[in-house]
């Protein structure tokens, strides 16, 4: 079987992403409910009728959710209840991802997201998570000969002045100009 190809995302994969792909939206309610109930025993044995009553939906809607969760592997049938309730093992996303390599979309790693350059992370945080600095911009900021905390300090000044009127996509460029200007002004006697 060929693993599907996913578009890169801005977020790490999670159970909610997989649940959103299902045709039965009730599965997104049933799965965390089942995880919570099966926390100590490792088994989920609630009848579809009682779960349907709890969530205020029809029994067949819950049965459809059970079926969809089994189909993707988040529920594993432990015991078939011939005249009684089935017993399921509820699989957490981390364990599921380990046994289904290639089944999750990959997170795009950006220099400002905590996996890259520390200066990019600090500037991203200083912008309130609104400005995503590119690697070449960070490299250029470093050529100014300033320490990281001084660059962040000047970014805060920039934001308080002309930077607050800029579109987030243009801030990196305009901050570069501001940084050059302030470095030239401080170098003059």
- Nearest-angstrom CA–CA distance, 21 and 17: 7
CB count, 10 Å around CB of 18? 23
pLDDT band at 185 (very low <50, low <70, confident <90, very high): confident
Quick check: is 87 in a domain? yes
- Nearest-angstrom CA–CA distance, 36 and 107: 27
pLDDT of residue 1: 41
In DSSP terms, which residues pair with 176 in a beta bridge? none
Quick check: is 50 in a domain? yes
Q: Indicate the number of domains in the chain.
A: 2
Residues 87 and 122 in one domain: no
Token readout for 111 is 């220099």
pLDDT of residue 45: 93
pLDDT band at 2 (very low <50, low <70, confident <90, very high): very low
Residues 83 and 127 in one domain: no
Residues 128 and 68 in one domain: no
Question: How many angstroms separate the first and last alpha carbons of the chain?
Answer: 70
Residues 86 and 46 in one domain: yes
Which is nearest to 61 in space by CA: 35, 28, 20, 27? 27
Q: Which domain holds residue 183?
A: 118-187
CB 121 within 8 A of CB 114: yes
Per-residue pLDDT of 118-175, as tens digits, reads 888 888 888 888 888 888 899 999 998 889 999 999 999 888 877 667 777 888 888 8
């Amino acid at each position: 079987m060929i693993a599907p190809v996913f578009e890169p995302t801005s977020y790490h994969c999670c159970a909610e992403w997989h649940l959103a792909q299902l045709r039965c939206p009730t599965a997104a309610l049933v799965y965390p409910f089942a995880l919570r109930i099966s926390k100590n025993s490792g088994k989920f044995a609630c009848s579809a009728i009682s779960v349907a009553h709890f969530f205020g939906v029809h029994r067949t809607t819950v049965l459809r959710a059970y079926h969809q969760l089994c189909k993707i592997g988040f529920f594993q049938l432990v015991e078939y209840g011939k005249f009684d309730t089935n017993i399921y093992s509820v699989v957490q996303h981390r364990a599921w991802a380990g046994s289904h390599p290639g089944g999750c979309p990959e997170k795009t790693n950006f220099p400002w997201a905590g996996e890259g350059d520390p200066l990019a992370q600090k500037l991203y945080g200083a912008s309130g998570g609104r400005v995503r600095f590119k690697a070449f911009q960070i490299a250029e900021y470093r050529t100014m000969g300033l320490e990281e905390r001084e660059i962040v300090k000047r970014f805060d000044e920039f934001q308080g002045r002309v930077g607050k009127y800029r579109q987030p996509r243009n801030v990196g460029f305009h901050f570069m100009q501001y940084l050059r200007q302030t470095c030239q002004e401080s170098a003059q006697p």
